[in-house]
Amino acid sequence: MATELKVGDPAPDFKATAVGGIYGGGHEVKLAELAGSTLVLYFYPENDTPGCTIQACDLRDSWRELQSKVELFGVSVDSAESHQEFVKKHGLPFPLLSDSDQKLVKAYQVWDRERMVTERTTYLIGPDQKIKAILKNVKPTEHVTQLLKALAS
């Protein structure tokens, strides 16, 4: 098993399809392209489930405050098509990354092999592409508050 990721470690490299926000119907995104920006990767189990919808809509409702501070991406193993429907249905202003091959969830150590589901975890990655904070087992209704607190520190 890989060594557990921790604050200060380099963020695992990735390449995935982004849907929504400035990426519209789908565009490949690489970690290296985001160097120099503060990045939030929030991993969630599944589109359109109650907790995931609450979490995404809370981020949407806080978007005005967040968009000037971070590049934010939701990440799940759902398909790009499922992401398009989720973005449209809930008016999400930020992009979602499709990780249908489970490379990101495994690289970021948020794939629960026993339950075969993504753990609700957020990574805050600095402009230097090192991990600044890890918010594990986030409660959907508390996510925005925890994220803003992590951004302030």
57 is annotated as an active-site residue: no
SS3 state at 47 = coil
Torsion angle of C-alpha atoms 57, 35, 130, 136, degrees rounded to 10 = 10
Catalytic residue among 52, 59, 66, 105: 52
**Residues ≥6 apart with Cβ < 8 Å to 147:** 40, 42, 66, 122, 124, 135
Side-chain-side CA neighbours of 110 within 13 Å: the count stands at 27
- The angle at the Cα of 116, spanning 79 to 40, to the nearest 5 degrees, equals 60
The residues annotated as belonging to the active site are 52
